[in-house]
Amino acid sequence: MLKNLVYFGSAQFTADIFESLMENKVVNIVGVVTTPDRPLGRKQVITPSPLALAAEKYDLPVYKPERLDEANLAHIKLLKPDIFLVVAYGQYFDQSWLSSPSLKTLNIHFSLLPKYRGALCISEPLLNGDKETGVTLIEMGEKLDAGPIISQVKVEISQADNCQILTAKLRDASMQLLKYELPIYLDGAVGSYPQDDSQATYTASYKTKTRQNAYIEWEKIEKALKNDTDLSFKWSVHNFIRSNNPEPGAWTIYQDKEMKIIKTSLIIDNNFYLDIVQFPGKDPIPWQKFSKTSP
């Protein structure tokens, strides 16, 4: 008999993973917990999360608590869950919630734990120029991303990856991990093992993904574009830009105008290239085409 699972998430990639679980039928999803409806877009239309919209297609109970308190937990317990599965949900789980399922509360984290514990686990490997990252399925505990590891899948990072591309890779790896490894774990064929806390790294708590923090001086870009600039500097500029793209979006000031940097690259000759840029109110344009017409 399939185990009853309550799924926690919000963003589109969590909805995609949910859909994969529904399709593969390795568990019996009995309900979904997601964020409350929020204003979205320029018109600030109150909109359900992508996960809520996905769950509604299957006529599943959808809960949208502002807080994970005892009153909300009482409603979730009526679903008789064996497992909670948390995927980038963003709220704190105290022990009463963690211990509520008859088996375990599990979490998919987008890094190779214990590396990159914390919320910026997708952008930090890009910023640091890592060649690989991955996804980890853990038994969730009260300490941030520190629970025992059940399984991991490695994911290669290419120089063309930005946050959007890498998120898609990690999403797909999560789908495969849950399809093949979760049933083995639930059958008791494999267990978990503790993380080595001495090897833990954390995404800095003072960093936030804001437009202000996505600014880069034009002088740095100009320096990176020169053939004789040190390769490590070129990489640092490229890594900064792709770790902030597509959201909030890397940008600079060029000729007294704001310029969004859509895409940069480093190719075989190890030169840095400014590929696609965008000015306010204009369509994205190849930098080479713009620079030839710019005064």
Segment 39-77, tens digit of pLDDT: 887 888 889 999 999 999 999 999 999 999 999 999 999
Question: What pLDDT score was predicted for residue 39?
Answer: 86
Strands (E), 48-131: 62-63, 83-87, 104-109
Compute the average pLDDT of residues 203-210.
Answer: 72
Report the top-level CATH class of 212-293. alpha beta
CATH superfamily for domain 4-199: Formyl transferase, N-terminal domain (3.40.50.170)
Q: In the predicted model, is pLDDT for residue 6 greater than 70?
A: yes
266 - beta bridge partners? 272
- The full set of domain ranges for the chain reads 4-199, 212-293
Residue at token pair 């963690």: 98
Whole-number Å distance between alpha carbons of 5 and 241: 39
Question: What pLDDT score was predicted for residue 293?
Answer: 60
Q: In the predicted model, is pLDDT for residue 99 greater than 60?
A: yes
Provide the whole-model pTM.
0.94
Compute the average pLDDT of residues 145-169.
Answer: 97
Task: Specify the DSSP element, H or E, that contains 275.
Answer: strand 272-278
> Any residues with CB less than 8 A from the CB of 13 and at least 6 apart, and which?
88, 167, 168, 170, 171
Q: In the predicted model, is pLDDT for residue 137 greater than 90?
A: yes
What are the tens digits of pLDDT across the range 244-270?
Answer: 999 999 999 999 999 999 999 997 678
Question: What pLDDT score was predicted for residue 294?
Answer: 57
